[in-house]
């Protein structure tokens, strides 16, 4: 397997989950649940693509990891609340957002060190 192949596969699967969540939000949910699904899908899809782009840089792997993990936490908590899990999970969502921000900072650093 090519270096980063497993992480690239996770990023691609993350994109697939984002499309499915977005479709469910558009066609199978309403109200606050639909908003959570839409927001989660948007952020997850953007960061799946960002992770794949980060893997193209020689030092981009740490950024890609933060994008995938951050999206899992950020979007995952929104998806969980959308299907009825406790709303206190909303307090965890910003931790995923912090991971996403960290990924962008690491991506900038990787780009500068090319």
- Domain count along the chain: 1
pTM, two decimals, is: 0.92
Domain containing 27: what range? 5-112
16-35: burial string, b at 16+ Cβ within 10 Å, e else? ebbeebbebbeeebeeebbe
Look over the chain and give the mean of its residue pLDDT values, rounded to a whole number: 95
Task: Render pLDDT for 24-55 as a digit per residue (tens, 0 to 9).
Answer: 999 989 999 999 999 999 999 999 999 999 99
Report the C-alpha gap between 1 and 24 in whole angstroms. 33
């Amino acid at each position: 397997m090519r270096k980063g192949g497993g992480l690239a596969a996770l990023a691609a699967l993350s994109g697939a989950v984002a499309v499915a969540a977005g479709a469910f939000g558009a066609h199978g949910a309403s109200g606050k649940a639909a908003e959570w699904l839409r927001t989660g899908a948007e952020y997850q899809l953007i960061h799946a693509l960002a992770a794949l782009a980060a893997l193209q840089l020689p030092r981009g792997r740490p950024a890609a990891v933060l994008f995938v993990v951050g999206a899992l936490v950020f979007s995952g908590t929104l998806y969980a609340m959308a299907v009825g899990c406790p709303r206190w999970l909303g307090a965890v969502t910003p931790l995923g957002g912090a991971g996403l921000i960290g990924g962008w900072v690491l991506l900038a650093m990787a780009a500068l060190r090319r």
